[in-house]
Structure 1
Amino acid sequence: MQQFPLEMHHVAPGRVVEWRLRSSAVEAEGPGDPASRKASFNQDKHFTVAEESRAADDPVASWVAVTFEVTGPLDERALAQALLSFVQRHEVLRCAFRRLAGEVACEPFAPATLTLDPEHVETFEDADELSDFLVERFKRSIDTLSWPLFIMGAVVREDSATVYLAFDHIVCDGMSMPIVAREVLTAYEGLCRGEAVELPPAPSYLDFAEEQRRRYLSIDARDGRLDYWKAFMGPAGEFFPRFPLDLGVEPGRMYPIVNEASMLLDAGEAEVFEKTCLAVGGKPFMGVLGSVAVCLREAGGPGVYRGFMPVSERGRSTWTNSVGWFVNTLPIEFDASPGRDFAQVMASVRAGFSEMMTHLDVPFVRAWELLAPEEFAARSWPYPVNFFSYIDMRKCPGAERHDEWRPTTHVWSARANGACSWFQRDTDGLHMNSIYVDTPAARRTMGDFQEALRLTVQEIARSGGFRRPVALTPQRRPVRGTPLDVAAFARRG
């Protein structure tokens, strides 16, 4: 399973059908008393930004989506029932959000009130026209302030179908996407066989949010659990770690985005890279993070890496099968100074990560609100922020069927003022998806950085360390890094 822009996804043309979620409670008198449940810290901030942006006529938007394949003629009735059962199973997907007494409240509609209305949208003969349609459909259909907060549809052909679901971030995270694919397809296959499918327990994200608020709403800036954050901020008092390279952005300005993906290592190289990391006491994500730090340093950044890293809050069992926004974001710092070899950098990454994980409990949004209140009041992060994310998709729910289902994740944001990069490992290799500001400086900087990183991780796989210079001279500067062959990925099966 990979993550790459929807624009890069080759979806064969066909007839587009969508299923509109409807609740009899909405049509009757609304969802009831929304004061009974409260949004999580992540959801509250996300909803507040959407409200403020709408009021300022400066709307922000983002979505996360998943697409996957069904082989053979599609049973539309069975798919509709699988989709409805999926929404009924996950309480957060049935929620309406609204502002109430200064807080963001959410109230789920009862499963029995929900129905799906099928709608034939359009038939496409051309793949490029279909791609353009889907991109615009996702952009225009997802609205944080309107229910429902996702769309569901399929591109139907005689002998196959591509199913898609796109969500506002307020109801899910990236790790929810493999859950979506597994549950919908497992239920669909069972219905086609005439069998009842029993899925593992999936506790409600609303319960997680309630427990989180109960534990952390009352803390203040003097709480000892914030000491790690305070130490990271240092004398300068900067809550956000700056992206250390030039992106050509002006303070306070948001920009259109570039959304691109590339392959860093093929399957064989990724396997050798993993063994090389394990040989020095690290893990593959530590090797990638250490390589990122070295490439940033070689391009003019500092020897000490400082960045944000999202960490899953699902735990090892409780929330494994639940859909929701189970992401905390924490700062990480480690030494990648010149002269340190691969083993030494890996030891620094391991130490920095271990220290970070001992402070996982405080929610990012709560720390932000308490320690940087002026920046918290803004609608975006104050400047380009150093951000690193890594997921081993081979360990996701349903990974044993990914070669058959061919699920893909797609993320999009209307605008940005910095750069974010996500790394994914799957059976095909190691991949990188980046969203960054569309400026000439950012295109040069990110192009150079991506190519340097690709050369670095390949060198580690070949020789076991940082033996070649990773900085790119103007003569070696590529137009683009190695592209991700998403068309071949989509056709495979």
Structure 2
Amino acid sequence: MITTLDRYPLRPGLLVEWIPEPVGAAYCVEDVRAPSYLQEEHIRAEVLFREQGVRASSWLATAFDLPGRVELEAMHSLLCTVLARHESLRSEFRFDGVRLARHTHPSSHVRLRMHVVGEFDSGARIASYLEGRFDEATNPLDNPLPTVFAAIVRPESTTALLASDHSRTDGYSLFLVPHEFAQLRAAQQDGRLYELADVDSHVDHSHAERSRAAAIDADHRGVLVWKRFLDACGGALPEFPVDRGVADGEVPEWAGLHETVLSEDDAEAFGVACKEAGVQFLSGLVAATATAAREIGGSREFHTTVPVHTRSARGAEGSLGWYVNSLPISVRTADAVDFRTVATATHGALRTALPALKVPCSRAWELTGTFPLLRTMISFMDLRNTPGSEHWAEWNVSGLGKPPPGDHVFLWFIRTRHGTSLTAVFPDTVAGNEIIPRIAARIGEVLTTVAATGNRSPLPVPA
């Protein structure tokens, strides 16, 4: 459900793109609402990459089909409505070398510049073109509003795409867009006003979160959770515990894989096995990953970070923005007698880490003097009840992404009505391309074995 552009089944048609641009006097007015800690860390990382001569794109996108040919004027109107509803897409960051400032533009001062790219006779050619455009137009250092809308128009259907720099959106937001578009399009075709519920502003959320976090000091319980974790990892954020073949100081390009690890029935059975063990589905996924790392890489303890959403307010449920914090997780695997042992330890580690939810992870890293270089992450999204999910197969819905280069191993597990998928991003090295697919295959084997039998005994580890 999250893949790369070249793996998404784009079909030929007329390609059109829209770029939002600020206009008018509001362009010069600074917003008093501060960026979130996570947004500032992201932008500063982009600056650091550029200073090192590394071109680092880091965008997220969504793609889906609308029935029939959507005329360009109608699509333009839909996009204007989406921009007006979601303030995060109209918010700009400016970095002067020291300070990051926000400038947010009212919808009346943002225009959508349309460009008819032309007819394409190949989906592969469209993907190649769009990847270059997304790389260019979503870079937050070069574009005030780093978002691109695109449409591939055909007589029988229209494929819509929205791509944005990661600072403006998160993975869950990608899967809110298709339903919103479908609702807006239905209202448009019926000649009525849309009736979508109002959504909160992520800009407001970021400012409130930062204001609260600014008052937190190094003695806060959540900061102490991070400090204990970092101490256990040698004073820095951990790396994935297998050799990826990356030399010190090297910034490799990334490689990726995407596969289904549990069918719909197997996911149900795995969920039952987790419940019988007294743990949640997420704990089971992390435990399976820790088990795979132990059996293939020989690690005795597994350290990682787990993103958790911060959409606690009702109005945030349908809002586009980066509503994410992270929890630090350490699980000892050396003494595990079976899968349930690891899953129980993982469940306990997640509960122990809960005070860290009160502190944005970037603020905790700042207070502990930690360089904010995230190198391992396990994400899980259960999207079965996301609005419109019953139509995703019909709409050909998929999240798309392009991470920055680097020595990191990120895993995304996504559960839908059709099963559970795994997307992995890792260094594009000989070692990385050999060992991470083995890890992914072992994770799948652990999950299906537990789904079938309720438990699993560990395999021998490397000498």
- TM-score normalised by structure 2 residue count: 0.94
Once structures 1 and 2 are overlaid, which stretch shifts more, 453-462 or 395-404?
395-404
Q: Percent identity?
A: 26
Q: Structure 2: how far apart are the matches of 1:259 and 1:290?
A: 21
Q: Structure 1: how far apart are the matches of 2:393 and 2:37?
A: 36
Which residue among 62, 84, 87 is the counterpart of 2:58? 62
Q: Structure 2: how far apart are the matches of 1:253 and 1:424?
A: 30
Indicate the SS of the match to 1:299: helix
CA distances 1:19-62 after superposition (whole Å, capped 9, x unpaired)? 2323332xxx4513215222111111112222333344333221
Which residue among 218, 222, 239 is the counterpart of 1:221? 218
CA distances 1:257-306 after superposition (whole Å, capped 9, x unpaired)? 10221111222222222222222222222211111111111113333322
Residues 270, 471 of structure 1: alpha-carbon distance in 2 compared, 3 angstrom cutoff: farther
Are residues 1:144 and 2:146 paired? Answer: no
Q: Structure 2: how far apart are the matches of 1:173 and 1:304?
A: 29
- Map of 1:200 onto structure 2: 197
- Map of 1:280 onto structure 2: 277
Q: Is the 8 A contact 1:31 1:96 kept in 2?
A: no
- Map of 1:427 onto structure 2: 417
- Map of 1:156 onto structure 2: 153
Q: Structure 1: how far apart are the matches of 2:399 and 2:230?
A: 33
Q: Is the 8 A contact 1:92 1:205 kept in 2?
A: yes
Once structures 1 and 2 are overlaid, which stretch shifts more, 423-432 or 278-287?
278-287
- Map of 2:73 onto structure 1: 77
- Map of 1:46 onto structure 2: 42
Indicate the SS of the match to 1:161: strand
Once structures 1 and 2 are overlaid, which stretch shifts more, 347-356 or 49-58?
49-58
Q: Is the 8 A contact 2:138 2:146 kept in 1?
A: yes
Deviation at 1:115, TM superposition (A): 2.8
Indicate the SS of the match to 2:114: strand
- Map of 1:183 onto structure 2: 180
Q: Structure 2: how far apart are the matches of 1:338 and 1:351?
A: 16
Are residues 1:12 and 2:2 paired? Answer: no
- Map of 1:484 onto structure 2: none
Indicate the SS of the match to 1:358: helix
Are residues 1:415 and 2:405 paired? Answer: yes
Deviation at 1:471, TM superposition (A): 6.9
CA distances 1:147-168 after superposition (whole Å, capped 9, x unpaired)? 2211001111110111101100
Which residue among 384, 393, 411 is the counterpart of 1:403? 393
- Map of 2:116 onto structure 1: 120
Indicate the SS of the match to 1:446: helix
- Map of 2:292 onto structure 1: 295
CA distances 1:209-245 after superposition (whole Å, capped 9, x unpaired)? 1111211224333444411112212366423123111
- Map of 2:353 onto structure 1: 356
CA distances 1:85-110 after superposition (whole Å, capped 9, x unpaired)? 11111111111211369431112111
Residues 185, 76 of structure 1: alpha-carbon distance in 2 compared, 3 angstrom cutoff: farther
Q: Is the 8 A contact 2:221 2:355 kept in 1?
A: no
Are residues 1:391 and 2:381 paired? Answer: yes
- Map of 1:486 onto structure 2: none
The letter for the 2-side match of 1:96 is E
Q: Structure 2: how far apart are the matches of 1:111 and 1:140?
A: 23
**What does residue range 235-314 of structure 1 map to in structure 2 within 5 Å?**
237-314=234-311
The letter for the 1-side match of 2:412 is W
- Map of 1:457 onto structure 2: 447
Indicate the SS of the match to 2:28: coil
Indicate the SS of the match to 2:297: coil
Q: Structure 2: how far apart are the matches of 1:224 and 1:472?
A: 38
Q: Structure 2: how far apart are the matches of 1:355 and 1:396?
A: 28
Q: Is the 8 A contact 1:304 1:337 kept in 2?
A: yes
Once structures 1 and 2 are overlaid, which stretch shifts more, 290-299 or 77-86?
77-86
Once structures 1 and 2 are overlaid, which stretch shifts more, 289-298 or 197-206?
197-206
CA distances 1:157-186 after superposition (whole Å, capped 9, x unpaired)? 110111101100111111111122222221
CA distances 1:439-482 after superposition (whole Å, capped 9, x unpaired)? 11111111211111111111111111114748799xxxxxxxxx
Q: Is the 8 A contact 1:84 1:116 kept in 2?
A: yes
Q: Structure 2: how far apart are the matches of 1:177 and 1:109?
A: 22
Q: Structure 2: how far apart are the matches of 1:368 and 1:154?
A: 40
Deviation at 1:64, TM superposition (A): 0.4
Q: Is the 8 A contact 1:174 1:409 kept in 2?
A: yes
Q: Is the 8 A contact 1:295 1:471 kept in 2?
A: no
The letter for the 1-side match of 2:320 is V
Q: Is the 8 A contact 2:339 2:457 kept in 1?
A: no
The letter for the 2-side match of 1:241 is P
Deviation at 1:136, TM superposition (A): 2.1
Deviation at 1:121, TM superposition (A): 0.4
Indicate the SS of the match to 1:34: coil
Residues 278, 30 of structure 1: alpha-carbon distance in 2 compared, 3 angstrom cutoff: same
Q: Is the 8 A contact 1:5 1:410 kept in 2?
A: yes
Deviation at 1:120, TM superposition (A): 0.9
Residues 293, 468 of structure 1: alpha-carbon distance in 2 compared, 3 angstrom cutoff: closer
Residues 236, 264 of structure 1: alpha-carbon distance in 2 compared, 3 angstrom cutoff: closer
- Map of 2:328 onto structure 1: 331
Once structures 1 and 2 are overlaid, which stretch shifts more, 459-468 or 50-59?
50-59
Q: Structure 2: how far apart are the matches of 1:252 and 1:472?
A: 28
Q: Is the 8 A contact 1:92 1:206 kept in 2?
A: yes
- Map of 2:131 onto structure 1: 135
CA distances 1:406-442 after superposition (whole Å, capped 9, x unpaired)? 3211111241112111111112211111111111111
Indicate the SS of the match to 2:357: coil
